[in-house]
Structure 1
Amino acid sequence: MNTLHYIFDPLCGWCYGAAPLIAAARTLPGLKLALHGGGMLAGAQRLRITEQWRNHVRSHDARIAQLTGQTFGSAYSDGLLCDTTAVLDSAPPTTAILASEAIAGRGLDMLHRLQRAHYVEGRRIADKAVIFALAGELGLAGDAFAAAFERLSGAATAAHFSDSRSWLARLGAQGFPSFALERADGTLERIEASRFYGDVAAWTHYLAERAPASAADPGELGQSCGLDGCAI
């Protein structure tokens, strides 16, 4: 089995831009996805929205939309980004992704839902109430999700961030998103995915060539994630 390692942050705009590539990779037989949340705005880096941050992000958002075709909702652009009481913190949404993966193998579904909630619906995805509402929308069992979220909060999420930063160092990468293909024989190849923004077909073809499924791979066709749904 080949593994595509994806180093991301739920509050990284370029990771939102890469969402169609991730959804496409998920459909390839014999390719497993490994999610590594990097904690871009966690701990001392968490911040409250300011005019300076808003102007910085909007310039990136325009470029992301142009290159990837991803849309940014007015509730985000004209709502959340103008709310100077909103706090951006990568830790709670990353914990939600870890919890979703732990109880149902649905970390990627949670990531996509968080991205849509933030970038389209303008919701505060660092707020626990919002996170639990999104888990409910995904059909994740309330008690099980709550227990996993509490267990994986704090030290466990911090350890995950540390491991993800180790992956960045291992790859010689500087920011999010970063990708690496680990083949079944253990070889590891860093992939520059930005050249595939807006061209999902070329990305899918590239991955299929670089990591073809073998007869022993139990890949499941049709296991796809709908997208109803910045660099460091």
Structure 2
Amino acid sequence: MSAVTLHYIYDPLCGWCYGAKPLLHAARQVVPIQLHGGGMMTGNNRQGVSPQLRDYVMPHDRRIAEYTGQPFGEAYFEGLLRDHSAVFDSAPPTAAVLAAEQLEKRGLELLGRLQTAHYVEGRRIADNDVLLALAESIGFEPQAFETAFKQHLGSQTTAHIKDSRQWLAKVGGQGFPTLALEQGGHFTLLDISPWLGKPEAFAAWLSQTVAGSTQSSTPSALSCDVNGCAGPAIA
């Protein structure tokens, strides 16, 4: 197992990545996971919350909930998505995940906490103070985390996102989430759509894949592209 790596190309504001959250937490019991934050909502794709944004994302979020069983809270639908002072920006939460990975190899754990904060609790995970509070809530020492987080903000996160986009092209992924299993320098793109909502079954299937008893698959159509979920970024 030590020679095998599961590459996970994600975005913290990708609804399908939130839908896949239980699968990744099951997968980490089978193989090591390397995180690649893709920067879906960065630069010109940053979005201020507006009625148009809310109307656009809600049908997709409800579809994700139906397919995956993941909960979406009223604090998100009726709170955050009506907070017109909020901005959706993938860079700060990606920097937080990088800091968590650097400090304690807990990037995936913090990512899961951020996803719940966003989609269930309706919290503004692009705000630095929210990110620091969430990291502290799962046991990170506040000063050490803040130092690492600030180090990753800016150029380091930008470079990481660029590298993640290169990984996406390298493994043949189309958007987020993309999962690719690396074994001996060979990459197998995984279709997780049959396993959404079935984390234990996914972990069992992944174990068989690592053992070489299953075939490679095509990427899932249930994903967010590099500009946003279910289509181009909203103007």
Fold shared by both chains (TM-score > 0.5): yes
CA–CA distance in structure 1, aligned partners of residues 56 and 204 of structure 2: 34
Query: Offset at 1:166?
Result: 0.4
Deviation, structure 1 residue 212: 3.5
Supply the distance in 1 between the matched residues of 2:150 and 2:211 (Cα, whole angstroms): 39
Alpha-carbon separation, structure 2, partners of 1:61 and 1:49: 15
In structure 1, C-alpha distance between the alignment counterparts of 2:170 and 2:208, rounded to whole Å: 24
Superposed, 1:15-164 pairs within 5 Å as 15-28=17-30, 31-164=31-164
Structure 2 partner of 1:4: 6
- For 1:43 and 1:127, the matched residues in 2 are separated by 16
Shift of 1:149: 0.8
SS of 2:70's equivalent in the other structure is coil
* Distance in 2, Cα, partners of 1:117 & 1:198: 20
Write the distance in 2 (CA, Å) between the matches of 1:162 and 1:195.
30
The residue correspondences of 1:178-197 to structure 2 (distance < 5 A) are 178-183=178-183, 185-197=184-196
Distance 1:150 1:65 in 2: 34
Q: Kindly state the Cα deviation for residue 199 of structure 1 after the two structures are TM-superposed.
A: 2.0
2:173 corresponds in structure 1 to: 173
TM-score (norm 1): 0.89
> Structure 2-normalised TM-score?
0.88
State the distance in 1 between where 2:23 and 2:9 align.
Answer: 13
Query: What is the one-letter code of the residue matched to 1:118?
Result: H
The farther-off stretch of 66-75 and 192-201 is 192-201
Post-superposition CA distance 1:83-116 (Å, at most 9, x none): 1111000000000000011111110111001001
Q: Report the secondary structure of 1:4's partner residue.
A: strand
> How far did 1:201 drift?
2.9
Aligned to 1:210: 209
Tell me how far apart the structure 1 counterparts of residues 54 and 171 of structure 2 sit (CA, whole Å). 31
Report the CA distance between 1:196 and its aligned residue.
Answer: 1.3
Question: Of the two structures, which has the highest relative contact order with CA contacts closer than 8 Å and spacing of 6 or more?
Answer: 1
Query: Match of 1:145, SS?
Result: helix
* Count of residue pairs the alignment pairs up: 213
SS of 1:189's equivalent?
A: strand
Cα root mean square deviation, aligned: 1.3
The residue aligned with 1:219 is none
Q: Give the fraction of aligned pairs with identical amino acids, expressed as a percent.
A: 51
**In structure 1, distance between residues paired with 2:209 and 2:32:** 14
Q: CA deviation at 1:35?
A: 0.5
**Matches of 1:205 and 1:55 in 2, distance apart?**
38
CA distance in structure 2 between the aligned counterparts of 1:171 and 1:84, rounded to whole angstroms: 37
